[in-house]
Amino acid sequence: MASPQRSSKTSEPRAPNPNDPKISKAFSAMECLGISREVVKPVLKNLLKLYGGSWELIEEDNYRTLADAIFESFDDKKKSKAVMVVESEDQASSARENGNKVKESNSDSNRKAHNSNVEGSSVDTRLGAQRVSSSSGIQRKRHQNNESGDHSATDKRLIHKINDITRGTERLKISLIDEIGIDLPKFGYIPENTSYQDAYVPFTLARIADENCCLKCNGDCLSSRVPCACSRETGGEFAYTSQGLLKDEFLGACISMYREPLNHHHFYCQDCPLERAKNVQNPEPCKGHLVRKFIKECWRKCGCSMECGNRVVQRGITCKLQVFAMEDKGWGLRTLENLPKGSFVCEYVGEILTNMELYERNKKTRINERHTYPVSLDSDWGSEQILKDEEALCLDATNYGNVARFINHRCFDSNLIEIPVEVETPDHHYYHIAFFTKRNVNAYEELTWDYQIDFEDDGHPIKAFKCQCGSSYCRDVRREAVGTKVKELGVKRRKSGTSRVN
Ligand SMILES: C[S@@+](CC[C@H](N)C(=O)[O-])C[C@H]1O[C@@H](n2cnc3c(N)ncnc32)[C@H](O)[C@@H]1O
């Protein structure tokens, strides 16, 4: 930073007048850095005093002097504190190193890194993370975003970096990175679905009839001349190519089913377990369940090997993924490598709950939760008898789940599709939900999935949220537009988007 030269002018400047175009330009420049007017005002006043009312140095290099002076004022007052999370095994030395790294990486944007102190630590046991206080230019810049303008009490921002949120439970490490400062997610990482309590999910070999598996196969079923019994679910052909991708035709059929669900078969239960969960005494009629296409993978009773091409989802995550923080949607998931169309990304893992259990859980907790994580397993209820409560299942990744719990919603043109996959049991009341890419996806693209949420439906298991998907086909935008139109017409419309326990 250029050292300030005292001007010969000595007149005492007044407090910055926001209507003065020079002052309002300075405010705008600082607002771009997330610094509020209240913070800028006293520093600008001092600078003007120091430079005798001359703007030349203040305006130079896009108000660099002003920005530096503001950051310096935080240091002077010892008010700038940020918290950084590093992995617990790294311990304090690494924390110190990370503190310095943040400092270094921010020095370019802020020119100055004033403080490399590491102050205290605490451990977040669920993600195995250690918290370490640190401070840096960017953190200083960001924590100014707090709207109160009171920097004495709220100068805390979280910058997180975790090398592996799975704690070694997946084949690949999955990192988490937060460059903006949001709360660390609180959940237990589980790589496989786990029954919470009442769900009936017996995985017994006796339940798989010999004709429902390929006892006589060996090696790779995909290379045999005649598709084996396990391909029956997908019309006598395997859903996968020998490269482990979904076949175009199968993927296309699944995409069209989600795009135009009303053109596809729905099953209407006589006694719908979802409605029963909401009101045992007086359930409403079934709203219908889309009958989806399933993939059936070979499993333990089959004669083929683990390398068989009809075993993709059960082999787990093989692509490089990263959880990252976003301003508008909380945490999200992105790929760190290019993914071809039809690639398996991950499955949706959570606690297996009955719909009754989910309903009870939501009643207790949902009002306070910003994000919700349940998925119903109702893709093939039509193929079974009337389901008992313990057979009407869903997955809830709120407390325990895998990386899929971070996949955000995108209306219509999401890059992922969820497909039901049968592995351990031929009963379709329990199955896996696997995510595949709908198109080629580039490294660093956010991975998104269309939750099939109707933003007018307050009863959807996923609590309504204000959609920030950014798609030109956003259903929530249309709802807003309709709402505005209706308002213009002076018609009072039902308030939608409010949370309601399903
Ligand atoms: C399965 S979680 C996804 C991960 C979540 N963003 C997080 O921070 O943990 C679903 C929640 O994410 C948020 N979300 C997902 N997609 C969104 C979108 N398009 N716009 C706004 N919020 C979204 C909603 O709060 C929703 O309840």
Query: Which ranges in 208-350 belong to alpha helices (H)?
Result: 248-259, 273-278
Residue 447 dihedral angles phi and psi, to the nearest 5°: -90, 130
Q: Is the CB of 349 under 6 A from ligand 1?
A: no
Q: Is the CB of 348 under 6 A from ligand 1?
A: no
C-alpha distances (whole Å) from 174 to each of 4, 29, 85, 319 are 48, 37, 16, 10
- The DSSP-derived string for 157-212 is -EEEEES-TTTT-SSS--EEEESS--PPP--EE-SS-EE-SS------GGGS-GGG
Residue 18 token pair:
């926001």
Domains along the sequence of the chain with CATH? 21-76 (1.10.8), 82-188 (no CATH), 194-319+339-454 (2.170.270.10)
- Ligand 1 atom with minimal separation from the 467 CA: 20
Q: What is the pLDDT of residue 180?
A: 87
Calculate how far, in angstroms, residue 466's C-alpha sits from the geometric centre of ligand 1. 9
Q: Is the CB of 408 under 6 A from ligand 1?
A: yes
Q: Is the CB of 29 under 6 A from ligand 1?
A: no
The one-digit pLDDT tens for each residue of the chain (502 residues) are 333 333 334 444 456 677 888 898 888 887 777 678 888 888 888 888 877 788 877 887 678 778 777 776 765 554 333 333 333 333 333 333 333 333 333 333 332 222 222 222 233 445 655 443 333 333 333 333 333 333 333 444 557 889 999 999 999 999 999 988 898 999 999 999 999 999 999 889 998 999 999 999 999 999 999 999 999 989 999 999 999 999 999 999 999 998 888 888 899 988 888 888 888 889 999 989 899 999 999 999 999 999 999 999 999 999 999 999 999 999 999 999 999 999 999 999 999 999 999 988 888 776 667 787 889 998 888 877 788 889 999 999 999 999 999 999 999 999 999 999 999 988 889 999 999 999 999 999 999 999 988 777 666 656 678 899 999 989 887 555 544 544 444 433 222 222 222 2
Substitution candidate for ligand 1 out of 333, 362, 449, 465 with most atoms within 8 A of CB: 465
Angle at 84 between CA 79 and CA 88, to 5 degrees: 140
- Ligand 1 atom with minimal separation from the 182 CA: 8
Quick one: which H or E segment has residue 291? none
Quick one: which H or E segment has residue 66? helix 56-76
Calculate how far, in angstroms, residue 369's C-alpha sits from the geometric centre of ligand 1. 11
Residue 393 token pair:
């299942």
b/e string for 260-287 if b means 16 or more Cβ within 10 A?
eeeeeeebebeebbbbbbbeeeebeebe
Angle at 142 between CA 140 and CA 146, to 5 degrees: 105
Angle at 136 between CA 132 and CA 138, to 5 degrees: 120
Predicted TM-score of the model (pTM): 0.70
Spatial contact of 165 and 321, defined as CB atoms under 8 Å apart: no
Q: Is the CB of 326 under 6 A from ligand 1?
A: no
Closest C-alpha residue for ligand 1 atom 27: 371
Q: What is the pLDDT of residue 91?
A: 32
Write down the ipTM of this complex.
0.99
Residue 231 dihedral angles phi and psi, to the nearest 5°: -85, -5
Q: Is the CB of 343 under 6 A from ligand 1?
A: no
